[in-house]
Structure 1
Amino acid sequence: MFYDGRSIENGGLIEADLCILGAGAAGLTIAQEFTSKNSKVALIESGSLEFEDDTQALYEGEDEDIGLGDTRLRYFGGSTNCWHGRCAPLDKTDFEKRDWVPNSGWPISRDDLVPFYRRACDLLHLGSFDQFHIKDWETKLFPGQFFRKIKSVDSKFLGIPFFRAEEPFLRFGPRFANPLKQDKNISVYLNSNVVEIETDEQTTAVQNVKIATIEGKEFSVRAKNYVLSLGGIENPRLLLSSNSIAPQGIGNNYDCVGRYFMDHSFTDMSQIFYSNEKFCFDEEVLQAPAGELFFRPNEQTQIDEGLLNAGIYLSGISTRSERAFIRFGHDIKRGNISSRLGEQILHMSEDIGGLAHNAACLVQGKRAPYGMWGVMVQAEQPPHRDNRVTLGNSRDALGMRKLKVKREMREIERHSVLRINEMFAMEIMRRGLGRVHQNHDYEDGRIFQKGVVDSQFGHDMGTTRMSSNPKEGVVDINCQVHGISNLYIGGSSVFPTGGFANPTLTIIALALRIADKLKK
């Protein structure tokens, strides 16, 4: 059943077996696991079924230049409403302690998550989890000769497939709305903002959560268990704001809430120009119907070079010669070639070989391939304790303190991105696949810092990290807040390290793991 929080009696109390805070990827994954079960579930969502400006404004941080609301959506379905669907599991090494990466490693292994990765793939209709590791997948899933060439490279790099969740499976709001509406034991409360978690005097158990609407109405929810799944920024915000009993905030006895903040960097590092037509291939080579391909340094290369985990993605770019050729063709069709003919001929002459190849493709009725490829590096950020989110002084429409974000790049990040790009360029040129123009701007640390922060993904991770020791994190191996018997956290905020893979598949896997724990 669906309810509008604005219609709930002011000062009212809702009781349930399980209260889930947030209807994004994690919250809805857990909620759908309780359909057709006997447990009474209350799912609390800040937004409505559609985007609304006043609700979205609650995401704004104290420093508006950071743009905390730019990559997140605050309505039913959460940020799956703008998700591109890109999926990959974390690598085995992402879970392991690496001596050159401070604070790295998870208290669980990748093998512990594999059963839940399999179920997450089923939930997203991605196909078998095994396809991420299929032998010779390069030639089975992606056509063309390029991978036979790149595979024969003195392989410092591995090809990593990313698969894409497609409509209607990636938009969790529309997908799960009807099943939840029809379930008599699941109640969804829209336009309902959780503003405080209230515990007992010893802060060992949650007693209830306080809910408020933008219009000023308030009510409470009391449950046996609670799951906080508001996202990597809002999870620590609520814990820090819930300070009526614990002045430092809930789960924050050792000042870990909000710390170790991570996001992925995404930098445009190089351009590859094909040579002798060996590297002149269509974008379909890199984007099969199933997904896309990344290249990452193998484990030994990461150890030898002291690198963070990162993936290289190639994106087709038209050269100036190709763009001039296309405009020339359009002008001929329109009968208007005189005004720009000289300029077009000049630009087309810059790459006669590529132009001839493109013309031959068009004559044969084929789509002309790209002659230039952008080299994009998507890299992990190490979990540094001083990168954090904290409460600011200004307040939002609900009276909650807005957030401040500190995210500084370290030398290991700049070194990793530059070195990985350099090695990949050397491999391409050594094999005669193309010539590479490298972007050297990021050798300047200040430019790198600005470029990476400006390219924020919204893959907010680490702010309620998982740890065996309460002094080093916020939740235990079951995603239960240390020292609090009935409070769990879902989402990427529990990631101790983030790898370079997009986080949603792992978010869903962990949510399924939490659901299994709660169903017992």
Structure 2
Amino acid sequence: MIIDLEQDSTASSTLTADVCIVGAGPAGISLALELARERPDWNIVLTEAGGPENASQAEKDIYKVALGEKNYSVLDISRRRKLGGTSAHWGGWSKPLDDTDFEENPAWDLPSWPISKQEVNKYIPRALTWIEIDSGNFDISDIRKTQSGKLLPLRKDAKISEQLFRFSPPTRFGDRYYDDLKAQDNLTCLLHANCYELTQTGDKIISAKVRSLNGADVEIKANNFTLAMGGMETTRLLLNLRNDEAANGEGIYSDHLGRYFADHFGVRPGEILAPEGLKYSRFGDASGPIMPVLTFSPDSIRTSHEHNSCMMLQASAAPDSLLAGYGGAKASGFHPNQYWHYSIQMIIEPRPNPASTLTLTNERCALGLRRMKLDWAPHEDDLASAYRLFSALGDELGQTGLGRLHLTKPNSLDVRANVSGACHHLGTTRMAANSSDGVVDTNLKVFGQQNLYVASSSVFPRYGYSNPTLTIVALSVRLAQHLASQNGAAA
């Protein structure tokens, strides 16, 4: 059932549920429907601050955030106050996190994921169904068998390796699952239901209060609550729940809450000369659209403590031929092949940086919630490691005789100042094995709370370069199974 609080004046002022989920993006919708189907004896309430259409200016004003010294140019476009959330502008890029993303980086001072890749992978097949990808094969070696001419013949001991993206149509969760939400008898989806308060007794949330901007007000009493509002708004609601109390405890009182804000960002450091027809960009395959990417090898990440970033190649016209500059292929040790110029686009794994923060200001929005300030501070190691990856590709091309590299945009203060995000809000409610290292536990429950959970990429403790949507949905499926296994009391 779907109720729009802006249009339905008969909506009850109080609802009772087994589980209340705040936020109806990919995480919230998949969690709500998984739970409702798994537990037909339960009542599920899903609330969404927006409606089926794009947000009005008044609704967008709720999101207003102050910025620190560094600009974050995607701030306004990175959040969508509508049913389906950011899937409305998602490009469909999908890939599980890599093995090394779950491993500790000794050069960093924070623990990595407290659950294994194998644990997350249990839920990837179901997540792929939600995002409408037919093939679950992300093994690049299988693609090499059919697409070998489109990939570099990398040496076994090379510092460079490869991984594989697949693509969702992309699934617009609000449109694709609207009828499912409407038809599910034990699920109530409230639209234009802005959550402005969580009521707490001791260490237990007893209700969530939501209202439309025109005044319709509903209180939802539930056994368990999950915040799935996106990384920034979820963090904001938790900070407001803490209010001015000191960050000297666990969970909402943890000093980790609001820290380590991160987003994937990119840089175009230069170009390469390499064999023609390389396809380290999106193209069609019999198994569906795919995109191979070039990365550091797992051994390089483990032994040299590099970030797990990736590179894509785009064939391009160069004003001055690199080949001519080397005086001919054979004389420079090139293999006797045809060559193309390719520009390099990188996606960089950000290092969790405690100085990169979301904090509350004293200004309040129309809901009465305190607004946030974002101080985005990418770590200086981020770009340094990315440029080493670019250099490693040049070394591999030179040593194999496959091409040459040309650095056109060296790492500099100007480059660092002008990087822009990819609309992936990561890290500010990080998952940890112990409350001293994060905000939520391995079941996504907020430390120190009986019944409050987070379903968001903000729980990621390490980020890799993969777009987060597939992993978010996998974690939501996992959370649904955890909650569904309970007897109805706080899980």
Q: Mark the CA change 1:34 to 1:434 in structure 2 (over 3 Å): closer, same or farther.
A: same
**TM-score, scaled relative to structure 1:** 0.83
Q: Which residue of 1 aligns with 2:167?
A: 164
- Superposed CA deviations along residues 313-355 of structure 1, whole A, max 9, x for unmatched, are 1123344599xxxxxxxxxxxxxxxxxxxxxxxxxx99xx9xx
Task: Select 1:451's aligned residue among 389, 414, 418.
Answer: 418
Q: Which residue of 1 aligns with 2:105?
A: 98
Q: Mark the CA change 1:11 to 1:179 in structure 2 (over 3 Å): closer, same or farther.
A: closer
The within-5 A match list for 1:211-230 is: 211-230=210-229
User: Any conservation in 2 of the 1:5–1:213 contact (CA below 8 Å)?
Assistant: yes
Task: Give, in whole Å, the separation in 2 of the partners of 1:459 and 1:161.
Answer: 19
Q: Which residue of 2 aligns with 1:194?
A: 195
Structure 1 unmatched runs, 5+ = 323-348, 354-368
Q: Mark the CA change 1:450 to 1:139 in structure 2 (over 3 Å): closer, same or farther.
A: farther
2:239 counterpart of 1:240: yes
2:397 counterpart of 1:398: no
Q: Mark the CA change 1:390 to 1:434 in structure 2 (over 3 Å): closer, same or farther.
A: same
Q: Which residue of 2 aligns with 1:86?
A: 93
The within-5 A match list for 1:172-321 is: 172-200=173-201, 202=202, 204-243=203-242, 251-274=251-274, 279-281=275-277, 287-289=283-285, 290-320=289-319
Task: Give, in whole Å, the separation in 2 of the partners of 1:136 and 1:207.
Answer: 51
SS in 2 for 1:242: helix
Tell me the CA shift for residue 86 of structure 1.
0.5
Task: Give, in whole Å, the separation in 2 of the partners of 1:120 and 1:375.
Answer: 31
- Superposed CA deviations along residues 37-94 of structure 1, whole A, max 9, x for unmatched, are 2211111001010102322332221239534222221100000010011111111221
Structure 2 unmatched runs, 5+ = 329-337, 486-491
Q: Mark the CA change 1:125 to 1:395 in structure 2 (over 3 Å): closer, same or farther.
A: same
User: Any conservation in 1 of the 2:262–2:378 contact (CA below 8 Å)?
Assistant: no
Q: Mark the CA change 1:172 to 1:456 in structure 2 (over 3 Å): closer, same or farther.
A: same
Q: Mark the CA change 1:152 to 1:469 in structure 2 (over 3 Å): closer, same or farther.
A: closer
Tell me the CA shift for residue 297 of structure 1.
0.7
Tell me the CA shift for residue 502 of structure 1.
1.1
User: Any conservation in 2 of the 1:32–1:176 contact (CA below 8 Å)?
Assistant: no
Task: Give, in whole Å, the separation in 2 of the partners of 1:474 and 1:447.
Answer: 34
Task: Give, in whole Å, the separation in 2 of the partners of 1:43 and 1:136.
Answer: 41
What amino acid maps onto 2:62 in structure 1?
Answer: L
Task: Give, in whole Å, the separation in 2 of the partners of 1:420 and 1:181.
Answer: 48
- Superposed CA deviations along residues 375-426 of structure 1, whole A, max 9, x for unmatched, are 1121211112221111123333323222111222333213201111111122
Please report the RMSD computed on the Cα atoms of aligned residues, expressed in angstroms.
2.8
- Superposed CA deviations along residues 177-228 of structure 1, whole A, max 9, x for unmatched, are 001101121111111110121110x2x1101012122224432111111110
Q: Mark the CA change 1:293 to 1:282 in structure 2 (over 3 Å): closer, same or farther.
A: closer
Q: Which residue of 2 aligns with 1:330?
A: none
What amino acid maps onto 2:430 in structure 1?
Answer: R
Tell me the CA shift for residue 144 of structure 1.
5.1
Q: Which residue of 1 aligns with 2:67?
A: 63
Q: Which residue of 1 aligns with 2:52?
A: 49
User: Any conservation in 1 of the 2:232–2:425 contact (CA below 8 Å)?
Assistant: yes
SS in 2 for 1:225: strand
Q: Which residue of 2 aligns with 1:113?
A: 120
Tell me the CA shift for residue 490 of structure 1.
0.2
What amino acid maps onto 2:124 in structure 1?
Answer: Y
Q: What count of residue pairs does the alignment treat as equivalent? A: 463
**TM-score, scaled relative to structure 2:** 0.87
Tell me the CA shift for residue 105 of structure 1.
1.0
**Which moved further from structure 2: 155-164 or 4-13?**
4-13
Q: Which residue of 1 aligns with 2:465?
A: 500
SS in 2 for 1:42: strand
Q: Mark the CA change 1:420 to 1:218 in structure 2 (over 3 Å): closer, same or farther.
A: same
Q: Which residue of 2 aligns with 1:132?
A: 138
2:158 counterpart of 1:155: yes
Q: Mark the CA change 1:120 to 1:12 in structure 2 (over 3 Å): closer, same or farther.
A: same
2:352 counterpart of 1:383: yes
Task: Give, in whole Å, the separation in 1 of the partners of 2:339 and 2:77.
Answer: 31
Tell me the CA shift for residue 469 of structure 1.
1.4
User: Any conservation in 2 of the 1:226–1:486 contact (CA below 8 Å)?
Assistant: yes
**Which moved further from structure 2: 472-481 or 385-394?**
385-394
- Superposed CA deviations along residues 260-290 of structure 1, whole A, max 9, x for unmatched, are 212112111111234xxxx221659752342
Q: Mark the CA change 1:146 to 1:9 in structure 2 (over 3 Å): closer, same or farther.
A: closer
Larger Rg computed on CA atoms: 1
SS in 2 for 1:415: helix
Task: Give, in whole Å, the separation in 2 of the partners of 1:151 and 1:441.
Answer: 25
Task: Give, in whole Å, the separation in 2 of the partners of 1:495 and 1:13.
Answer: 34
Task: Give, in whole Å, the separation in 1 of the partners of 2:269 and 2:181.
Answer: 45
Task: Give, in whole Å, the separation in 1 of the partners of 2:291 and 2:140.
Answer: 15
Task: Give, in whole Å, the separation in 2 of the partners of 1:451 and 1:63.
Answer: 15
Q: Which residue of 1 aligns with 2:332?
A: none
User: More helix by proportion, 1 or 2?
Assistant: 1
User: Any conservation in 2 of the 1:229–1:490 contact (CA below 8 Å)?
Assistant: yes
